[in-house]
Amino acid sequence: MFRQLKNVESAFRHLKLFTFMVVFSAAAVSCYAIYASFQQVQGLQGKVYVISNGKLLEATATDRKSNIQVELKDHVRMFHHYFFTLDPDENANAMYIAKALYLADNTAKQQYDNLKESGFYANVVAGNVTQRIQEDSITVNVNRTPHYFRYYGKQDITRPTSKVVRRIVTEGYLREVSQSDNNPHGFLVERWQTLDNSDISITKR
């Protein structure tokens, strides 16, 4: 009789241990499933799929601070591209200048007004001049605001009888503003000035 009671007690103990292991395993599997699902949802929230030219592309969202240097440089690059790209077409030049002025403060507008009053843009159209700018390098200070920048590049000025290459060095500061269609990076060029715009070479065509 005592042996039977011991067998029942031992079986009960084994049953309790087995039940505990099953419950613990189920809880561990549930916790892992919840964690894995949460991680997957977090990963999907940072991804966007974009269709470009009939192709599905994956874009990943990142914190702006991790890309601020890239955004600052691209803002400076696009401002100079719009400001210094000229063709013998008054409407095209006006469109580019308008885009550039959305990216900068009144210092850029003052330089534009000075060039316009001197007849520079009229001479570009009348003389069939084409001007392009090539970036050499851009330095920016991301550690202090507003962010100081310096732009190094070359201007290729093509006239009917000659081609001129000029060095262009400018500097200024970048202040953060609201993003918009006209200012996608959300920065504004301030205190912009040209430091060097000297000729490098002149060749006949």
Where exactly are the structural domains of the chain?
A: 2-48+53-59, 64-204
Q: How confident is the model at residue 2 (pLDDT cuts 50, 70, 90)?
A: very low
Instruction: Give backbone dihedrals phi and psi of 170, rounded to 5 degrees, phi first.
Output: -130, 165
Distance, in Å, from the CA atom of 90 to the CA atom of 98, rounded to the nearest integer, reads 12
Distance, in Å, from the CA atom of 113 to the CA atom of 71, rounded to the nearest integer, reads 28
Share of the chain above pLDDT 70, in %: 76
Q: How many Cβ atoms from other residues are within 10 Å of residue 85's Cβ?
A: 17
**What was the pLDDT predicted at 55?**
59
Q: How confident is the model at residue 25 (pLDDT cuts 50, 70, 90)?
A: confident
The pair of three-digit structure tokens given for residue 151, joined into one six-digit string: 């732009």
Mean per-residue pLDDT of the chain? 84
Residue 31 pLDDT greater than 90, yes or no: no
Q: What is the largest CA-CA distance in the chain?
A: 120
- Give the CATH fold of the 64-204 domain: Nuclear Transport Factor 2; Chain: A, (3.10.450)
Q: Report the sign of the C-alpha dihedral through residues 159, 99, 57, 51, in that order.
A: negative
Residue length, the chain? 205
Residue with the bigger pLDDT between 129 and 32: it is 129
